[in-house]
Amino acid sequence: MIRTVALDIGETLVRDDRYWAGWADWLGVPRHTLAALVGAVVAQGRDNADALRLLRPGIDIGAEYAAREAAGRGEHLDDSDLYPDVRPALAALRQAGVRVVVAGNQTVRAGRLLRALDLPADAIATSDEWGVAKPSPEFFARVVDLARAAPHETVYVGDHPVNDVAPAKAYGLRVAHLRRGPWGHLWADTPEAAPADWHIDSLHELRALATAATD
């Protein structure tokens, strides 16, 4: 039985275009240069923040983030950043009686911005708010608490095999790997993504998945 669907944030609900464009503009480099570097580190299985470190060796990302915020050039999210299927798919899950929660590796500010969008979700949390990030088991312990359901009654939906699929499965959750964004597409047919219970191309698939597993 599936009681709760928990969703990652970046490249699951929200496109990362604006995020990386903001960093490129802040660092004074062409947007396509940073986008290409992000793609390169993704292909190498590295932390996407390594793209910033390649551009500015020794960069203190936390300090630069704070400077952007102080300059009024920090994170911003609005409905245009959401993938088109987000609102209808989440609403359909709730209409089917499934609890919907959102939890991903994001900043405190991102959590505030997401809640301001009034998504059809029962709860929203970020790693910085919790003080623990994926792929730590502690993150998924928090997801289960937020889900208000047992791990095997909870589906975690995400695009990243290393951060989403493997650690969620290890904690006992069921997993839907979403073929979306650079990670979701590049690693879709790899051994890292194979352990997922489901492989989906759209959040619209979640209602049928959840209700079929409940019947």
**Contact indicator for 122, 100 with CB cutoff of 8 Å:** yes
Q: Could you tell me the fold of the domain covering 4-15+78-214?
A: Rossmann fold (3.40.50)
> Which uninterrupted H or E stretch holds 4?
strand 4-7
DSSP 79: G
Give the per-residue pLDDT at 215.
58
Rounded CA-CA distance 28/180 in Å is: 28
> Which uninterrupted H or E stretch holds 25?
helix 17-27
What's the start-to-end Cα distance of the chain, in Å?
7
148: Cβ contacts below 8 Å, ≥ 6 apart? 3, 4, 99
Give the per-residue pLDDT at 43.
86
Dihedral over Cα of 162, 167, 170, 175: its sign? negative
Nearest alpha-carbon partner for 184 in 50, 8, 64, 51? 8
Is the pLDDT confidence value at 24 over 80? yes
Taking only the tens place, the pLDDT of each residue in 64-112 is: 999 999 999 988 999 999 999 999 999 999 999 999 999 999 999 999 9
Give the per-residue pLDDT at 74.
87
Helix axes 17-27 and 61-70, enclosed angle (nearest 10): 90
Residue intervals of the chain classified under CATH 3.40.50.1000 are: 4-15+78-214
Give the per-residue pLDDT at 46.
87
Residue 213: alpha-carbon gap to chain centroid:
23
Taking only the tens place, the pLDDT of each residue in 171-215 is: 999 999 999 998 899 989 999 999 999 999 999 999 999 988 765
Taking only the tens place, the pLDDT of each residue in 45-62 is: 888 899 999 999 999 999
